[in-house]
Amino acid sequence: MDEKYFAKKIEQKWQRIWAERAAFKAAVEDGRPKFYALEMLPYPSGNLHMGHVRNYSAGDALAWYKRLRGFNVLHPIGWDSFGQPAEDAAVKRGVNPRKWTEDNIEVMRGQLQRLGLSYDWDRQMYAHRPEYYKFDQWFFLKMYEKGLAYKRLTQVNWCETDQATLSNEQASGGLCWRCGNPVTKKDLEQWFLKTTAYTDQLLDDMAEIEAGWPQHVLKRQQDWIGRSEGAYVDFKVRIATGALGNMPKDAPASIRVFTTRIDTIYGANAVVVAAEHPVIAAHRATLPANVTAKIDQIIEENLKPRDRETEIEKDGIDTGIKVLNPFSGEALPVWVGNYVMMDYGTGAVMSVPAHDERDFEFAKKFDLPIRQVVSEPHLVHEHHTMQALALARPFTEYGVLVHSDYWNGKTSEQAKKEMADWAQKHGFGETATTYRLRDWGISRQRFWGSPIPVIYCDKCGVVTEKYENLPVRLPENAPITGTGESPLAKVPEFYETDCPNCGGPAKRETDTMDTFVDSSWYFFRYTDPTNETLPFDPAAAAYWTPVDQYIGGDDHAVMHLIYARFWSKVMRDLGLVNFNEPVKRLLTQGMVVGETFYDDESGKRVYHPPPTVSVERDSKGKMTRAVSADGKALKFAIERMSKSKGNGVDPDEMVEIYGADASRLFVMFAAPIDNELVWNETGIEGAVRFIQRVWRLIYKWRDHIGVTAEPQISSAAAGKLRQKTHQTIKRVSDSFEGLQFNTPVAALMELSNAIADIGVEPEQSGEDERFAVREALSALVLMLTPFAPHTSEELYSVIVGNENGMLANGAVFPEYRPDLAKASEIEIPVQVNGKLRSRLMASPDTANDELQRMALLDEKVREFTDGKEIVKVIVVPKRLVNVVVKA
RNA sequence: GCCGAGGUGGCGAAAUUGGCAGACGCACUAGACUUAGGAUCUAGCGCCGCAAGGCGUGCAGGUUCGAUUCCUGUCCUCGGCACCA
């Protein structure tokens, strides 16, 4: 054993031993319980960043912990290797996307290996390789057969900057999820997967995972799916007279609206429809020019990119068309409104300004009547005598119905149900549920993705590729221009084919699949990574899945995690798996952020990389001033790491300077896993110091800890150390079970401090002390393994005297012994009127009345109680005594 | 605007969920060892105060013998969604 700790030396050594021994190879077996530890797979951009390090360090810690706890652990890694950056690289630098991707994987695999992550490297999956994407296509065919994949013309979200179509999720907020620029619309024929076939299951099955998933993730998914319960109501279009002329022949006889507040229907002052609504198209010829002009203007406005910040002003126009309120019989005008969206509900709403914010705003602007029909219960009486109360703002709560004929006096809850039933009974409506969730558009006009296995034949129409012809392989390359046409459409060798049906000439689909398809089922592939006939063997999946613990960033809270849940349900219905939910427990780790320095004189932030900035601190160490290299005073902030801000940290550099173990330990220790982590360079040195302290402890005691027989009696020092050891075992185990990674490190630091403070030199130590130190050191080393595996393996090899590694030696996580963890004497704080005044030393078994007696006799306590009436004394067993006195 | 998470020393954070606020670490201060220290060791380190003591978990109240923890109100920060009828 070296006297000094050389990180690089031992890290290389143990990485070699692990590889030689295939230490982390997983196999299906009987006996031990299984544990599937999964981290979100990386996109092979070419560089690992600190977010990866944090994610994978946590996953690895858990994998090691479970191994040492006797589990058969599956801990795999793979590559989300389809996607746009490869094409960007092709456009910018003319490189082949496949080569670019493979090269990047090579580099990043090296980075992961240098971190010493305990993956089963034999199970890697690569999304871009035919062996994998073959089954993207296989799944597509299965879904097509089940009617879960279909094609339709649609307006797609289009990002001008990235020249890409985007899913609703990727375009959420009207901004491109990748570049943040505004999204526009474009008409295209697109393939869809019917996620909406599973909306209710996606919602209801959340009950199964409630305990293991962060509440906020489930909430966000819930909001995203957006189930809302209400009713459809049909408003008959009245045969118009006068200026409007006769009703066009093919015009709909009624307009169907969706409402969640049918109880407010007597307050409707209009029906407002989307500009794209069919009723408008049908009547268009008869509408006055100023109306059609306005409608066209609104349509045009809707296509424009939307600025997230500015609220859109209500706009609209009265079409002149009239409809009848089926409840009141009242004739209402039909307006076009820019705030009604064609793709939600029915594209038409009944406008009830008194009870809806938007309708209120609309009515105010166009001076439409506002009639209150739901009242706060205590004001109901007022409404008998007046037409309507003037409303300063809409009343959107539930209440009691007024001015609603037969329904007066009913509560909103009652009325909602009864009025919907009434509508159904009379044939002009029904209860209904609508959702925000749309089907998943998976077509991408991209080269670097899985080809959609569909063929278009002039004679047979849409024909799917045969299973035996899968995979539909990507050509070696394609002319990638970045202009938004499918590159495959320019490769005749690819698209020219024969119809699988009639054998005649036909063309392949040239769009490829969204890369979220790959990540929707990759973690099943790990269970059987080389299967050539099926995505995976159901038996292998049955053993390993569902995933016991999934760890990743919460930026995937909706998209990836909804798609993956959807995919599992489809797989269940295909008979591949027999459960509803693929992930039992989910942990979302926070971002890694760093200090940034910038000046904003020009109105725009100009960033200065931290190494070029000199920083002044006050006597407490607080940053007071930052100055750039050319002497400019800079502002500072904490922001997400990025190249442009210059505050990124290269994991490779960290490993080079401080070692993988120290880097990983620090990342785990620095903050709770779900918090943001502010990177600061100095903190990591503390991790190095800690590892070195442990190293020195083993070095110091290395020749004196061969004692393996538990001694009968213990000195005070030995007893105290053993107590600390077992308390620490409990704390660390509890932390792991609760997925806390920062507090166990603190506990291990305390234990190492306690060993250092034992107060006996090895040479002078007794048998009992040597045993206590051995116990403490081996517990420390084993418990440190999940955070710093290389160092721990090395130190463990010193303790046991061989270099086979912990797992081969059958090492297990130390067992907590309550009898040893128990203190012989504890400190009991004594309060007077809730304020700490003294402390008592007592045995933990001291009876309550004895503690009370001791407290009252205590000199410090008496200073505050003498001459005062003692009202009562509260004794919390083993915790505290509080004496209550009257002043 | 709506939804969610969160405000504890100079900083990252602990606190067995109602019982000693600030464990552990970073930074800082002083000292020791040293030719040297960006190594190591020792001590100190919430604020006010010479001290006794007082104050202190965003702020204001409340419940309680006792509140970082529970309740009410309020302010702020960060994330998500955004005309979803």
Quote the CA–CA distance of A453 and A470 in Å, as a whole number.
Answer: 8
Count of positions (residues) in chain A: 887
Contacts of residue A199, Cβ cutoff 8 Å, sequence gap at least 6:
A225, A227, A435, A437
Is the pLDDT at A443 greater than 70? The verdict is yes
Query: A651-658 and A50-68 are packed helices; what angle lies between their axes, rounded to 10 degrees?
Result: 60
Q: What percent of chain A has pLDDT over 70?
A: 93
Decide: CB of A625 under 7 A of nucleic strand B: no
φ/ψ of A224, rounded to 5, equals -65, -45
Structure token pair of residue A166: 């985007």
Position A242 scores a pLDDT of: 47
Scanning residues 655 through 694 of protein chain A, those with a beta carbon under 7 Å from any atom of strand B turn out to be 669-672, 675-678, 680, 682-683, 685-686, 689-690, 692-693
Decide: CB of A753 under 7 A of nucleic strand B: yes
Least Cα distance to A272 among A314, A238, A227 occurs for: A314
End-to-end CA distance of chain A: 66
Q: What's the pTM?
A: 0.92
Decide: CB of A606 under 7 A of nucleic strand B: no
What's the half-sphere exposure (Cβ side, CA atoms, 13 Å) at A181? 10
Is the pLDDT at A249 greater than 80? The verdict is no
Give the lowest-confidence range in A704-718, A783-797, A805-819: A704-718
CA of A748 to C1' of B26 (A): 17
- CB count, 10 Å around CB of A576? 20
| Cβ atoms of A56 and A115 closer than 8 Å | yes
Scanning residues 265 through 284 of protein chain A, those with a beta carbon under 7 Å from any atom of strand B turn out to be 274
Decide: CB of A594 under 7 A of nucleic strand B: no
Is the pLDDT at A377 greater than 90? The verdict is no
pLDDT band at A637 (very low <50, low <70, confident <90, very high): low
Q: What percent of chain A has pLDDT over 90?
A: 62
Quote the CA–CA distance of A262 and A430 in Å, as a whole number.
Answer: 10
Position A397 scores a pLDDT of: 85
Decide: CB of A876 under 7 A of nucleic strand B: yes
pLDDT band at A384 (very low <50, low <70, confident <90, very high): low
- Top mean pLDDT of A300-309, A376-385, A686-695 is at A686-695
Is the pLDDT at A388 greater than 80? The verdict is no
Quote the CA–CA distance of A146 and A161 in Å, as a whole number.
Answer: 36
Which nucleotide's C1' is closest to A874 (Cα)? Answer: B65
Which nucleotide's C1' is closest to A338 (Cα)? Answer: B83
Structure token pair of residue A452: 């959609």
CA of A340 to C1' of B82 (A): 14
Contacts 24+ apart (CB under 8 A), A377-384: A380/A409
DSSP assignment string, A829-881: EEEETTEEEEEEEE-TT--HHHHHHHHHH-HHHHHHHTTSEEEEEEEETTTEE
Decide: CB of A485 under 7 A of nucleic strand B: no
Is the pLDDT at A243 greater than 50? The verdict is no
Is the pLDDT at A561 greater than 80? The verdict is yes
Is the pLDDT at A595 greater than 80? The verdict is no
Position A603 scores a pLDDT of: 62
- CB count, 10 Å around CB of A807? 16
Give the lowest-confidence range in A470-474, A498-502, A640-644: A640-644
- DSSP alpha helix (H) spans, A485-634: 492-495, 518-525, 538-544, 559-573
Is the pLDDT at A97 greater than 80? The verdict is yes
| Diameter of chain A measured on Cα atoms | 113
Scanning residues 772 through 831 of protein chain A, those with a beta carbon under 7 Å from any atom of strand B turn out to be 827, 829, 831
Scanning residues 385 through 444 of protein chain A, those with a beta carbon under 7 Å from any atom of strand B turn out to be 434, 436
Q: Is A624 buried (19+), middle (13-18) or exposed (0-12) by CB count in 10 A?
A: exposed
- Top mean pLDDT of A219-228, A539-548, A602-611, A646-655 is at A539-548
Structure token pair of residue A495: 């698209």
Contacts of residue A486, Cβ cutoff 8 Å, sequence gap at least 6:
A445, A446, A447, A510, A511, A512
Beta bridge partners of A271: A334, A350
φ/ψ of A81, rounded to 5, equals -95, 5
Q: Which nucleotides of B are covered by protein (CB under 7 A)?
A: 3-5, 10-16, 19-21, 23-29, 39-42, 53-55, 65-67, 78, 80-85
Position A159 scores a pLDDT of: 78
DSSP A173: G
φ/ψ of A587, rounded to 5, equals -125, 125
- CB count, 10 Å around CB of A609? 15
| Cβ atoms of A356 and A396 closer than 8 Å | yes
CA of A459 to C1' of B47 (A): 86
Contacts of residue A458, Cβ cutoff 8 Å, sequence gap at least 6:
A504, A505, A506
Position A649 scores a pLDDT of: 83
Mean pLDDT of A586-593: 91
Decide: CB of A321 under 7 A of nucleic strand B: no
Position A515 scores a pLDDT of: 95
Is the pLDDT at A751 greater than 90? The verdict is yes
Decide: CB of A695 under 7 A of nucleic strand B: no
Residue of least CA–C1' distance to B5: A216
Position A689 scores a pLDDT of: 94
Q: Is A413 buried (19+), middle (13-18) or exposed (0-12) by CB count in 10 A?
A: exposed
- Identity of the residue numbered A882: N
> β-strand A623-627 against A633-640: which pairing, if any?
antiparallel
- DSSP alpha helix (H) spans, A631-680: 651-658, 660-669
Is the pLDDT at A412 greater than 70? The verdict is yes
pLDDT band at A640 (very low <50, low <70, confident <90, very high): confident
Q: Is the ipTM of this complex over 0.90?
A: yes
Q: What's the distance, CA A333 to chain centroid?
A: 46
Round the average pLDDT of chain A to a whole number and report it.
89
Type and span of the H or E element at A209: helix A206-209
φ/ψ of A551, rounded to 5, equals -130, 135
Position A554 scores a pLDDT of: 86
Decide: CB of A310 under 7 A of nucleic strand B: no
- What digits encode the pLDDT tens for the residues A781-810? 999 999 999 999 999 999 999 999 999 999
